[in-house]
Structure 1
Amino acid sequence: MIRRLATSAAAAAVVLMLAGCSAVLGGLYQGDRTGTVTDNIDTGTDSAVPAEEIDDEITDAIDVVDQFWSAHFSEFYGGDEYTPPTGFIPYVASGLPYCAGEEVVPDNAAYCYPDNTLLWDQALMDYLYVNGGDAVIYLVVAHEWGHAIQSQITDDYLWNAQELQADCFAAAALYGAAEDRIFTWEEGDTAEITNALTVLADETPWTNIDDHGDPLDRIDAFNDGRIGGVEGCYPVVE
């Protein structure tokens, strides 16, 4: 179901392009997951779901997350100017884009810096939409956007567990957008996101900066942003 209540410049600027990048700040997961995401990904999207419906949902997710950060970034980060991602790049396994001179891995999503672009395997998004629910599309976009936020803030605001902080930012953006009345939570969304965070988690608790954490780590981080908003994603002062 399409949930966009307004449009933004970022959504209107969605482009289909393949471009080189010089660094990757986190994918959706590392690969050693607790569950199987795309066992049947090569079967393609369910024929009952038009591709345009999924593309529209991705565009709406971009719109919602951008509107939230455009309105609120400077409130939490010292008045700094917010810069949204400038490119949104779907790709397929047979035509992988490059980042830092290396191909982006298939069956994933990522933020590429300093090109300031979000990238996703379209087959993965199709699979997640059909098998996980539309809320998962918003989670993926908001998580990768969280890495774009990390690229704009000082180290004092960064968690050591940057993947978990991206989960926190995802919740802060989506729940904040709901408070701003630009996004509507629907019945079943919480279960869809909880299931996705579980399936896309690593097999062990967070141990280093590249880890996404186990299911409880990811759900806890998401809840930090759900309950505390952006401030819930500040580092804990010992």
Structure 2
Amino acid sequence: MTFNDDARIDTSKVSRRGRTTGIAIGGGGGLLVIGLFILSQFLGVDLTGLAGGQQQEQPGESIGSCTGQDANADIDCRIAGTADSLDTYWAEELPQFGVDYRTTNIVLFEGQTSTGCGGATSAVGPFYCPPDETIYIDTSFYDELQSRFGSSGGPLAQMYVVAHEWGHHIQNISGIMNGLDLQDTGPTSDAVRLELQADCFAGAWVGAAPSILTDDGVPFLEPVTDAQIADALSAASAVGDDRIQESTTGQVTPEAWTHGSSEMRQRWFTAGLKGGPNACNTFEVAGDQL
């Protein structure tokens, strides 16, 4: 999508952190990181032992002021504009479901960083950490999305990633995550249902985005085009379990899925795009309808 040039963006939800060193890792507790792209599994990165350690948290730096014109040219401003639009959308939408809304924040980092879930590196891809209610993104992931996994790229492909992780925040604060068995895997597992719902929430935001206004009453974004939707669907497809398994191991193993197939991820994004959040209850549909 394209930002309106004169849209004024609140950048306070996004900060950039430099490379961190000397992350203290301790034992105890399981690492609850929701929204890791399955990329981490195939790169041999095991984060499960990183929780429970003392964190040497590095303060983030402001990314400065941004306008819509800046967001169309600069990745940090684009993420800030996306965050501002998402925050405005969910602050209005979620109370209709009887849930009090509270915002999240996004930390941009390079290489590695400390989080409320333990230490993280760029290898894990963008993720949402429930304990500190924060989204973490190494923006080099967007290059990987294109060069390694074949996404067409484009601004909306990048924004889809942010909206998906914001969807995990909505699941967290609304209690959807409570009581789920996230250790189970497979096409009908709770883990897959959670990820598909986050895709659906991302689609719901995209469908509403042209009507979401800044504090000045200016639409954040211009109407979405079919080509831009195709970019987002390309990103959803690129991180499907089946596609990543095939590209990394040469075979597809459905029983190991944690995020859903490319087709499933595209279909649920489209469901949200057309039907809004009401179309996103992946936990009520039968397994053969996922």
TM range (shorter): 0.7 to 0.9
- Cα gap change, 1:83 to 1:191, in 2 (>3 Å): same
Task: Tell me the residue number matched to 2:273.
Answer: 226
Pair 1:233–1:192, CA change in 2 (3 A): same
State the 1:25 CA deviation: 1.4
Given that 2:203 and 2:276 are in contact with CA atoms closer than 8 Å, whether structure 1 keeps it comes out as: yes
The structure 2 residue matched to 1:188, chosen from 200, 219, 227, is 227
Q: Distance in 1 between matches of 2:82 and 2:220?
A: 11
Aligned: 1:118 with 2:135: yes
Matching residue within 35, 59, 77 for 1:26: 35
Deviation at 1:217, TM superposition (A): 0.8
What one-letter code is carried by the residue in structure 2 that aligns with 1:121? D
Q: Greater relative contact order (Cα 8 A, min sep 6): structure 1 or 2?
A: 1
Which residue of 1 is the match for residue 284 of structure 2? Answer: 236
Contact in 1 for aligned 2:200/2:268 (Cα 8 Å): yes
1:165 aligns with 2:197: yes
Larger radius of gyration between Structure 1 and Structure 2? 2
Q: Assess if the C-alpha contact under 8 Å between 1:129 and 1:136 holds in 2.
A: no
What is the distance in 2 between the residues matched to 1:230 and 1:141? 17
Deviation (angstroms), 1:58:
1.3
Q: Where does the alignment leave 5 or more consecutive residues of structure 1 unmatched?
A: 34-49
Residues 1:96 and 1:102: Cα distance change in structure 2 (over 3 Å):
closer
Matches within 5 A, 1:69-218: 69-75=90-96, 77-78=97-98, 80-85=99-104, 87-93=105-111, 95-106=112-123, 108-125=125-142, 132-155=153-176, 160=190, 161-180=193-212, 181-184=219-222, 185-203=224-242, 204=252, 207=255, 211-218=258-265
- Equivalent residue number for residue 16 of structure 2: 16
Aligned CA-pair RMSD: 3.4
Corresponding residue of 1:47 = none
Contact 1:201 1:215 in 2 (8 A): yes
Provide the C-alpha distance between the structure 2 equivalents of 1:213 and 1:156, rounded to a whole number of angstroms: 17
Residue of structure 2 equivalent to 1:46: none
Q: Distance in 1 between matches of 2:2 and 2:72?
A: 14
Q: Which residue of 2 aligns with 1:36?
A: none
1:89 Cα deviation after fit: 1.0
TM-score (norm 1): 0.75
Give the number of equivalent residue pairs.
215
Letter in 2 for 1:106: A
- Return closer, same or farther for 1:81/1:98 CA change in 2, 3 Å cut-off: closer
Amino acid at match of 2:237: T
- 222-231 vs 22-31, which moves further: 22-31
String of CA shifts for 1:82-117, please: whole Å, max 9, x gaps.
0110x3111112x33344334245261001112111
Q: Are the equivalent residues in 1 in contact too, given 2:40–2:124 (CA < 8 A)? A: no
* Equivalent residue, structure 1, for 2:83: 62
After superposition, the Cα gap between the structure-2 partners of 1:32 and 1:191, relative to the gap in structure 1 and judged at 3 Å, is: farther
* Residues 2 and 57, structure 1, Cα contact 8 Å, conserved in 2: no
Percent identical residues? 27
SS of aligned partner of 1:24: coil
